[in-house]
Chain A
Amino acid sequence: MNDYSEQPVLIETTSLKSYFHDSISTILDKNESDVGDDTRAYLINLLQHFSRSDRFFEWFEQRTTLRPLALLYGEAVQARNVSERRAMLRRLGDVALFVAGIFRPSLERKVVGVDYYINMGGGAYDSLSDSLAHTGKSSLNWQTFKELAGNFETIVDVLDEFAESSGLRGYPTSTVGTILRDNNIELKENLKEADNFSDGCLAKPATRH
């Protein structure tokens, strides 16, 4: 059991949004990152949006969960119309960015690493940007998504630094707790089941090329 009482962090701010604004701006300026104002604003809004776990997680297959990126991609692929496809691409990009930035250390211990999230998220924003650029009839700015796609790795680094400096990783927030529950524990149970395979036929894993 960790003793969180030894990590006191008192954050004085007027609102969560202004805290995100000040923190992210400080990191971006310090790193001399070439990220425009609209993209900064998008990033701050994203953090505020996902500060509520009910917006980050979804009710899917009769439980609260975070759907795999592949499934979000699949929904984008089989979307019935352009707006549905854009919504799924945006969700895919947002989730990939948030997870890769805020939970990077956790990803580094998994088979699917941070590069996978960067490629998937960057690709989603890039496709979304292309889609928006062709119509020019959206409240969403295609150039913002183009910038998010082009600087995805940089922005992941910024979020990583933010998560580290804010002390976010030291606390068992509901978000962190749910992610651990949804991924790690379930994964261990599944692997345990896999270890019990008795059929000689299925002793070695199948390979997909």
Chain B
Amino acid sequence: MAVWQNQLRVIDMPLSTIQHQIQSLYDLRLSHQVEDFLITDRHFLSNIASDDNQRQTPEKLVFCEQDDELLVSLYLAEEALDQLSSNDPYDHLHGGNIDIFCTVLEGVSHFVYLIYNATHDRPVSRLELEVQAEVDKYFLVSRLCDSQGMRIDRRRLSAWLFDYCRFDPALKPDERARYEFANRIARAFCKRVRNTPDLDHRPDSVVSELRRFYRMRHHEKFDSALGDRPMRAP
């Protein structure tokens, strides 16, 4: 695993906490830390990203394979990191920081999912990355609210994340379609977890289900979310 060289910034914000939370939720062991792969220089991003659509995005995972080596960098906009470090959601999650928290969480989620699959020699599609990031947002926000004693309506959280989100107008049609489809799959999966009675009242079984879903491959994952088969409830 390698990283595009860039001035690495010393950070005082919850990136590592987010990574830890994701790894803990899914029981993942990784030997790479997201901070080591972080870039914040937009010009540097435009130099290394082959994407012809140079949108002003606050978060982007850049990766490619070169000589059997995976090159990875996670770009997060300086302003996003500043907002998060001055308004730490792990101190208090609220309407002023939940959106930027989810944006950064999405980047870290992409990073963790890519690294996990790469270290297991498994290919990953962009659609899978998006689906998993949406599921991560839903469950990490839910757990964070629980830990801070906030009651959050799961259905409303689902609607906020998957039904009423605002898409960047500069997204290309295929990007937007991918996001919309990922939303649909993630919403279906989260709804199934919510609606499986035995799962809903037993946190351990929810975690088991999430870990199984995380390790599923492309089609298996989508079938699990959209299919009719009941989820496993021990």
Which residues of A lie under 8 Å from residue B160 when comparing CB positions?
197, 202, 205-206
Query: Which of B19-27, B63-71, B168-176, B201-209 binds A?
Result: B168-176
**Residue from the list A74, A80, A203 in contact with B177, Cβ < 8 A:** A74
Considering only CB atoms and an 8 Å cut-off, how many residues of chain A contact the other chain?
A: 28
> Any chain B CB within 8 A of the CB of A140?
no
Flag whether A190 is at the interface (Cβ < 8 A): yes
- Tell yes or no: B150 within 8 A of A by CB: yes
List residues of chain A with CB within 8 A of the CB of B152. Answer: 199, 201-202
The residues in A between 54 and 106 inclusive whose CB is less than 8 angstroms from any CB of B are: 68-71, 73-74, 77-78, 80
The interface on chain B, measured as residues whose beta carbon lies within 8 A of the other chain's beta carbons, has a size of 43
Contact of A208 among B150, B153, B166 (CB under 8 A): B166
* Chain A residues within 8 Å of B168, by CB: 207-209
Contacts of A155 in B (CB 8 A): none
**Would you call B57 and A209 a contact (CB within 8 A)?**
yes
- B156–A197 contact, CB under 8 A? yes
Q: Is B219 an interface residue (CB 8 A)?
A: yes
A197 to B99, CA, bound (A): 16
Within the complex, what minimum Cβ distance (angstroms) separates A130 from chain B? 14
**Which residue of the partner chain, among B103, B157, B163, B177, contacts A190 with CB atoms under 8 Å?**
B163
Does A119 belong to the interface (CB within 8 Å)? yes
Q: Is B95 engaged at the interface, CB distance under 8 Å to the other chain? A: yes
* CA A193 to CA B94, docked complex, whole Å: 21
Q: Are A208 and B127 touching (Cβ within 8 A)?
A: no
Instruction: Identify which of B30-38, B42-50, B108-116, B179-187 touches chain A.
Output: B179-187
Q: Please, which residues of chain A bring their CB within 8 A of the CB of B157?
A: 202
Whole-angstrom CA separation of A190 from B58 in the bound complex: 29
Q: How far is the CA of A69 from the CA of B150 in the complex (A)?
A: 37
- Is the pair A71, B156 in contact by a Cβ cutoff of 8 Å? no
Q: In the complex, which residue of chain A has the Cβ closest to the Cβ of B218?
A: A78
Q: Are B164 and A70 in contact (CB under 8 A)?
A: no
Which A residues are CB-close (under 8 A) to B57?
Answer: 209
Q: Taking the nearest CB of chain A, how far is it from the CB of B212, in angstroms?
A: 19
- CA of A208 to CA of B172 in the docked complex: distance in angstroms? 13
Chain A residues engaging chain B, CB cutoff 8 angstroms: 68-71, 73-74, 77-78, 80, 116, 119-120, 123, 190, 193-194, 197, 199-209
Interface positions of B (Cβ within 8 A of A)? 55, 57-59, 93-95, 98-99, 102-103, 125, 127, 145, 150, 152-153, 156-157, 159-161, 163-168, 171-174, 176-181, 184-185, 218-219, 222
Closest 4 pairs (CB-CB, A-B): A74-B181, A70-B180, A119-B173, A206-B165
Given contacts A200-B94, A201-B93, 19 further A-B contacts (CB under 8 A): A68-B180, A71-B184, A77-B127, A78-B219, A116-B176, A193-B159, A194-B159, A199-B156, A201-B150, A201-B152, A202-B160, A203-B95, A205-B160, A207-B99, A207-B166, A208-B167, A208-B171, A209-B58, A209-B168
